[in-house]
């Protein structure tokens, strides 16, 4: 297959289709994923082509979805579950953190749980309450779970393939505000490691780390800084929240001497705090300024008309960059 320009949502659909074609043990399940094709149409056409026993419409019960997926995984299947919106995952939190995350360790490694939990997350679409959360840190704190999030269509395609092939449970956060962003996808390409960060813009004055929906904002900030005053910002897409590729970050920070971490989730106890602490330990003698963080506020996600004030947009990211450069 030749490379094709497609939206991130289409890349996910193509990835699921490829997984279903390749492995008869792969199942897709969730609320309205079948006939409707999902709220965001990520699973559009899959039930029609693969049948109701492979693409399964479930009851409106997230705990039941994950509990059923655990049982299927124990029987040798590879279920890919969909949680309709980020804020709906919490009824399933018990199943995820007390069962899914712990069964491999509880069985001394004899039980594998290849379950993927797809969760559209983040803001930027003007949604109502409980539809714009960024709960990645709540799951990253739990040992036994892998947490990844793509920022572009190519990564969406390949990272979902790799998550489905993984024998460990993977929570796959999809930046819903980027579903319609387009990019090149080469189904014949060779992907890098699932949990490896990547440098998406080279620079020498400061490292700006982001993931998921914030990568696009970080790239815009780097372009604006270069145009305004020639500041050279290196942008790193972390891609994985657990585990985190600290080696790639360290190499960048040893070169630039400064680090800003951006994410939509609240800064307080967010994943950026772990990045800041680890890089401070590993790069203490290279840092020319403290590691700074920019993200959401420590408050419930606001109504849609106020979300632009809550999310870390271009101006707030550039302000944080200026503070880091001022030291």
Domain boundaries defined on the chain: 4-185, 198-326
Q: Which strands make up the sheet holding 26-30, listed edge to edge?
A: 55-57, 26-30, 78-82, 116-121, 170-175, 146-148, 240-242
Q: Are the folds of 4-185 and 198-326 the same?
A: yes
CATH class held by domain 198-326: alpha beta
Q: In the CATH scheme, what is the homologous superfamily, with its name and number, of domain 4-185?
A: Thiamin diphosphate (ThDP)-binding fold, Pyr/PP domains (3.40.50.970)
| pLDDT at residue 3, rounded to an integer | 87
Q: pLDDT tens string for the chain (327 positions)?
A: 678 999 999 999 999 999 999 999 999 999 999 999 999 999 999 999 999 999 999 999 999 999 999 999 999 999 999 999 999 999 999 999 999 999 999 999 999 999 999 999 999 999 999 999 999 999 999 999 999 999 999 999 999 999 999 999 999 999 999 999 999 999 998 899 999 999 999 999 999 999 999 999 999 999 999 999 999 999 999 999 999 999 999 999 999 999 999 999 999 999 999 999 999 999 999 999 999 999 999 999 999 999 999 999 999 999 999 999 999
pLDDT at site 2? 75
Q: Which of 104, 131, 195, 298 is catalytic?
A: 131
Whether residue 131 lies in the annotated active site: yes
State the first-to-last Cα distance of the chain, in angstroms, to the nearest integer. Answer: 50
> Contact at 8 Å (CB) between 233 and 201?
yes
């Amino acid at each position: 297959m030749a490379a094709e320009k497609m939206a991130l949502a289409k890349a996910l659909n193509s990835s699921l289709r490829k997984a279903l074609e390749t492995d008869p043990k792969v199942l897709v399940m969730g609320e309205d994923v079948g006939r409707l094709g999902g709220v965001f149409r990520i699973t559009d056409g899959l039930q029609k082509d693969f049948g109701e026993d492979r693409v399964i419409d479930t009851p409106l019960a997230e705990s039941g979805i994950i509990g059923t997926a655990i049982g299927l995984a124990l029987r040798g299947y590879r279920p890919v579950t969909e949680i309709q919106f980020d804020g709906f995952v919490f009824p399933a939190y018990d199943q995820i953190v007390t069962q899914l995350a712990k069964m491999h360790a509880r069985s001394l490694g004899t039980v594998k749980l290849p379950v993927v939990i797809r969760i559209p997350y983040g803001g930027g679409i003007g949604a109502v309450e409980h539809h714009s959360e960024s709960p990645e840190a709540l799951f990253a704190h739990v040992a036994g779970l892998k947490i990844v999030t793509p920022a572009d269509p190519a990564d969406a395609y390949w990272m979902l393939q790799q998550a489905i092939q993984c024998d460990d449970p993977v929570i796959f956060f999809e930046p819903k505000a980027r579903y319609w962003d387009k990019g090149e996808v080469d189904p014949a390409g060779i992907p890098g490691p699932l949990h490896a960060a990547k440098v998406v813009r080279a620079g020498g004055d400061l490292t700006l780390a982001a993931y998921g929906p914030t990568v696009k904002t970080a790239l815009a900030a780097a372009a604006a800084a270069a145009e305004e005053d020639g500041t050279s910002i290196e942008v790193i897409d972390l891609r994985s929240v657990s585990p985190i590729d600290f080696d790639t970050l360290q190499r960048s920070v040893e070169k630039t001497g400064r680090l800003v971490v951006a994410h939509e989730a609240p800064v307080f106890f967010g994943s950026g705090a772990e990045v800041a602490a680890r890089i401070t330990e590993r790069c203490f003698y290279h840092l020319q300024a403290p590691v700074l963080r920019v993200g959401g506020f420590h408050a419930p996600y606001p109504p849609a008309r106020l979300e632009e004030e809550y999310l870390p947009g271009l101006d707030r990211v550039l302000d944080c960059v200026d503070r880091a450069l001022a030291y």
